[in-house]
Each structure stands twice: as structure tokens, then as C-alpha cells.
Amino acid sequence: MRQYGGNAGYEDDPSAVYRYDSNVSNYRQVSEGDVIVLRSRIKILGIARIEEILTGEGEKQRLRCPVCGISQIKERVTMQPRWACRDHHAFDAPKRETVSVKTFEAHYGGTFRPAPRALTLQQVNDAVMRPSDQMSIKELDLAKFEEVLWDDIGCHRLVVDYADAIVPDTAAQIATDVDMPRSIIEARRRVLREVNLRRGQPQFRNRLILRYGNACQISRCAFPGLVEAAHIAPYARTSENGVHNGLLLRSDLHTLFDLGLLAINPATMTISLHPALLGMGYGSFEGAPLFTNGTSGPDHAALAERWEFFNSRLSHAEEEVAV
């Protein structure tokens, strides 16, 4: 939405290009690939995905209150004097000044779709994440009105694009308890929140990577999406996020470690496996040394506690076989 109070306006083609500059709040938050909703004061104009942003330098006319000098002013349609500022000073004409700015043109003509008739201004307003009347660029949670877009093939494609662009850190920040089983966006967020939980808190994971390198300490798998930060002593019990309480493990090995089917012998710092895993493609890890990157490795007391848990699992398995 475009607010004209503090500036002299822009020449836009709402179906193809959106122009703004470095004096516009949130201008840094607009990126290529973003899905946007364009609106006027009275209606929704359309939905699109930004294909390209062109940057430049320019000048713009800035309008200010002649009494207090602030730029938060609005032109009034039915009242006199014609203008008023945020601090309730009324005046016939604003003070004008020319300022240098960085200019931006967001182009999206190839993806623009007219808004579905069912989409209302109220729905879009309710989806604003940090409401402010003075901002022309506002961050939306598209999931709030996703269902309204489903029946239009082009808009549905934009919903999918929006969901695909969600990254794990963002998904962790936008959490909702609302049950939305049909929501593409919410389904994506839930998956990524699970990924976040499995990977471990970013600070904890990054500390482990600095200590051991960006690879599994057992398999040496270095694919980032599969390497997770594993707590040795469970975090839920200890709240311990120190580097000595962690391991970098491939996702499947992390699961086996948590289940007590894989452990590290604290005396030899080698890997031990539950016998059931030996014929399941994990046999090469039996007896392999834990990679510690020349450091003292993880806390031996925490490993010893896990080792006891592992041996208790072995004892139960042997008892079941004996029976």
C-alpha cells in the first residue's frame, strides 16, 4: 500500500512494477523472489512474486509539517486546513524539501495475478505481522488468508512459491497453535520446525561445528542438511548447551544414539552398536574411533551415562533372547 503523506508519490504500474526508495520504512526487507500483495486505500489490487529489483540513485521531494518538521503527515480529503501531522498540527501546505535517496524498482509483471474477489482489505490487514499505519511496506503472513487464494491457479502457484521460500530460522519464529491441516504454508513451517529441533539450537550447533568441523563425528558425512547437533546428556533434563555436552551426528545416527542403540565407549572413545544394527548397513561403524578433530572431545562423564543406558539396552535384548 502507498502512503502519500511524507512524499510526493511514485509513478507505478501496479500490475508490473513497484517503485520505492531508501526513505521508505522496511525497504531493506524486500527481496527478489518475495510474494507480495499490492493494495490501495480502498481495495486489493493483486498478488505477485518479485522477479527482479533494479537499484539506482535519485532525488525525491519530501513533505514536512511546517510547524514541527516531522514527515508523518497526511492530506485530508474533507477537512480544512487540508493537511495535518501526527502531532495534530493542521496547515494549508506542507514544507517541501529535496533529498537524495537510493531508488528501487521491484518488477513482477510476469507473475502478477488480480486479487480474488473473496480477498478483503480486512483479511490482509489482519495478516500484517507488525502493524503500523505509517508503513507502506508491511510484512504479511500469507497463511492467514491462504485458503482464499486456492481456487485461482496462478495464486495457488504463488502460495507454493511462498511456502518453498520459508527457511528453518523463519519457521521457528512464526509458530502457531492453529490447526490448519490443509495449509501448504503451515505444513512447510511445521516440517522446518521439526528440522530445527533435530538440528539443535543454532548457537549450540555452530559451537560444535567450530570445535569438530562441519561433518558427522562417526560417518564423516558432511552434507549440511543431514548433520545434526546431538545432546549427550538430554537437554530437557540438564538444560546444558555447552560444547562438551554435544556431538555432531548424521540424522539417522542421531536417532540411534538417542534410542540407546549406538553409544561411544568413554574408555576407548570408539563406537559400539546394538547387535540388531550389524546386519542393517551399520556394521562398518562398530569399533570405529569417534572423530574429535584433535580436541579432548566431549565430556566423558556424560558419555559414561549414555554408555550405561546403551548397556542396559543390551542386557534387555539378551534377556529377551534367553527367554
Indicate if 23 and 116 belong to the same structural domain.
yes
Indicate if 138 and 223 belong to the same structural domain.
no
Distances 150 to 120, 141, 156, 182 between C-alpha atoms, Å: 15, 16, 5, 11
Cα distance between residue 84 and residue 72, in whole Å: 9
Collapsing DSSP states into helix, strand and coil, what is residue 185?
helix
Indicate if 134 and 218 belong to the same structural domain.
no
Neighbours of 25 (CB within 10 A): 14
Q: Is residue 147 included in any domain, yes or no?
A: no
Distances 69 to 48, 77, 105 between C-alpha atoms, Å: 36, 22, 28
Q: Is residue 298 included in any domain, yes or no?
A: yes
Q: Is residue 204 included in any domain, yes or no?
A: no
Q: Is residue 153 included in any domain, yes or no?
A: no
CB 97 within 8 A of CB 71: no
Q: Is residue 201 included in any domain, yes or no?
A: no
Task: For the chain, give the longest Cα–Cα distance.
Answer: 95
Which of 258, 246, 239 lies closest to 297, judged by CA? 246
Q: Which of 110, 142, 174 is the C-terminal boundary of a domain? A: 142
Work out how many domains the chain is built from and give that number. Answer: 2
Q: Which residues contact 252 (CB under 8 A, 6 or more apart)?
A: none
Q: Which of 83, 115, 142 is the C-terminal boundary of a domain? A: 142
**Phi, then psi, of 95 in degrees rounded to 5:** -80, 135
Collapsing DSSP states into helix, strand and coil, what is residue 139?
coil
Indicate if 27 and 108 belong to the same structural domain.
yes
What confidence score (pLDDT) does residue 240 get? 64
Dig out the grid coordinates for 63 from the structure: 513533505
Full DSSP string of 213-266: -SS-TTT----GGGEEEEESS-HHHH----GGGEEEEEHHHHHHHHTTSEEEET
CB 117 within 8 A of CB 111: no
Indicate if 135 and 25 belong to the same structural domain.
yes
Dig out the grid coordinates for 64 from the structure: 514536512
Indicate if 25 and 138 belong to the same structural domain.
yes
Q: Is residue 99 included in any domain, yes or no?
A: yes
Q: Which of 91, 112, 142 is the C-terminal boundary of a domain? A: 142
Domain of residue 252, residue span: 214-322
Containing 142, the helix (H) or strand (E) segment is none
pTM of the model: 0.53
Collapsing DSSP states into helix, strand and coil, what is residue 62?
strand
- Give all strands (DSSP E) within the chain, no chain letters: 17-21, 35-39, 44-49, 52-64, 73-75, 83-85, 90-91, 95-107, 113-114, 227-231, 246-250, 262-265, 270-273
Cα distance between residue 32 and residue 158, in whole Å: 13
Q: Is residue 179 included in any domain, yes or no?
A: no
Indicate if 222 and 132 belong to the same structural domain.
no
pLDDT per position in the chain (323 positions), as tens? Answer: 444 344 444 556 889 999 999 988 888 989 998 999 998 888 899 999 999 999 999 988 889 999 999 988 988 988 999 999 999 999 999 999 998 999 999 999 999 999 888 899 999 999 888 877 666 888 888 888 888 888 888 888 888 888 877 765 554 445 454 444 467 777 777 766 666 665 557 788 889 999 999 999 999 999 988 899 998 987 656 666 788 999 999 999 999 998 889 999 999 999 999 998 988 899 999 999 999 999 999 999 999 989 988 988 787 655 544 43
Indicate if 40 and 127 belong to the same structural domain.
yes
Q: Is residue 305 included in any domain, yes or no?
A: yes
What confidence score (pLDDT) does residue 237 get? 65
What confidence score (pLDDT) does residue 36 get? 92
